[in-house]
Structure 1
Amino acid sequence: MDDVITARLWRRIQRDFPDPETAQRVAGLLRQFIGRLGDSTRGGGVERLMATVVLCAEGKLREIYDLIDLGLTDWRDLLMCHEEMAYGDDEAILDRELGPVAPGDDQPVPGGSRGGEPASRKTRKAEARQRRKTTRAGSRQGRRTRGR
């Protein structure tokens, strides 16, 4: 499959997810999302759908997973997360949010198909529990050292 991530979308991903590994992961997740949707995206526009995921996530990786899950259920519901994308002039919105197409934007975007499958809800809950445990343990440790 040709790369579905446009150069301007890649620039927006890098802006919203400055960590290079996270940006690569987001791009991989978006590629897999579009691959899993297949021909069902005829009316949605590939860049429009991926841009909606990135814009609505507002730089939060967890939101990328949730929005992809929503889009896999029904991509039209995904577009409703960004009302302008659902009802507006998508080319003007994409130009405003991603920037206009620039010379050289037809070059391949780095990253291939990295990223893995979107994590299941069960996996995400387990990861969240682990983060909370780590955060609590760190704050307890901080209280112990302050008293010394």
Structure 2
Amino acid sequence: MARVFDPKKSIFIPATGGHPKNAEYRVAWGTEQWDKPVNVTKVQMVYNGTVAGMLSPSFPDNTLDEQSVYFALGLLKDNKYGSSTSKSIKEVLVLRKIEDPNKLGLTISKIEDEIEEMTFDIFDSKKNSISVGVRTELKEQFILENDVYAFLFRVEIFPSR
């Protein structure tokens, strides 16, 4: 029976469609202690920055949430994607349907704002006495089928003064 998961790299996906505010999927690869250490890939729910280890993730069928999780699973198999377990840097994947490519820049800017707002909300929800700064930058974008774009962001969280 699996006991302890040690993530080596992960991609976070903001959850939509019925999940509570500040919910994310964590798609992670690492080792888990079975009879011996075994490499595993795992999808977990994260609420307000805390992994809900015993709660099975659910994503509605035929949605961008489901497509995002499957896409992130593929990205993790490529060694250039996925952040380490550092709490100050994470990778965030967002999929959006964009019918007008001329609005791509506005969409990216809006997603960056959403990621930063969610990050601030998560730190506020933990009642930390430390305020944080957030730097979000687009790491890579992918064009998927049916006008769906995938945006992978590098998010840096640092104490603010």
TM-score if structure 2 supplies the norm length?
Answer: 0.26
- Structure number with higher helix proportion: 1
Higher relative contact order, chain-length normalized (CA < 8 Å, sep 6+): 1
- Structure number with higher strand proportion: 2
Larger radius of gyration: 1
